[in-house]
Amino acid sequence: MLTNTDIFIVERGGVQYQMTAEQIKTFVRANFIVADIAARDALTLETGNEVYVVDATADPDVDAGGAKYLFDGTNFITLAEDEEFNMTIAPTDLGYTPSATNGLITSSAGTDAVIPAVTATNAGLATPAMLANSHIAATSAATAATNPVTVDGAGQAVGFSISQLAALP
């Protein structure tokens, strides 16, 4: 049986290193995969060993699936659980009705929601009136003959034409 103070010669890239069994174990991180909790408990482990149990349902904290454990020399510490994903996804028809003060979201599942309009103190929905004033039409200064910038209000486009600039004297 190996002890943690046994010395080994390890070669990497043509260079030889002396490592103790403890250093090698830390470097390699001994990991085990077992079928169930009984098999985990039957292992001869050292402090720091990790064990993945495929069916960890014998652990009272695991309802279904597997779990990963760290052995601290005396006890197993649960690092992760692979619980089943128990969720049913069903289609729901949603509807939305805006008003001046809130938005009503209706659901065919019967779980409707009222979302208040945005204010200075909450991050609610923008009402139709708020959105109507959010795009103010652009205008150009001067006249078409003296201003190189043209504005098409219907398409919300701003254009620039060099032909409208006065020639240098």
Q: What is the pLDDT of residues 99-117, one digit of tens each?
A: 777 888 888 878 888 888 7
Which range of residues forms the domain containing residue 109?
Answer: 94-132
* Position 61 in a domain: yes
Residue 48 shares a structural domain with residue 105: no
* Position 169 in a domain: no
* DSSP structure class, residue 27: H
Residue 150 shares a structural domain with residue 127: no
pTM, 2 dp: 0.37
Residue 109 shares a structural domain with residue 159: no
SS3 helix, strand, coil % of the chain, rounded to 5? 15, 35, 50
Say how many domains are in the chain. 3
| C-alpha atoms less than 13 angstroms from C-alpha of 20 in its C-beta half-sphere | 7
Higher pLDDT, 138 or 38: 38
Residue 127 shares a structural domain with residue 141: no
Summary mean pLDDT of the chain? 77
Residue 31 · residue 46 · CB < 8 Å: no
3-state secondary structure of 142: coil
Q: How far apart are CA 117 and CA 127, in angstroms?
A: 6
Residue 22 shares a structural domain with residue 68: yes
3-state secondary structure of 66: strand
Over residues 31-73, the pLDDT tens digits come to 888 999 999 999 888 888 889 999 999 999 888 889 999 999 9
* Position 88 in a domain: no
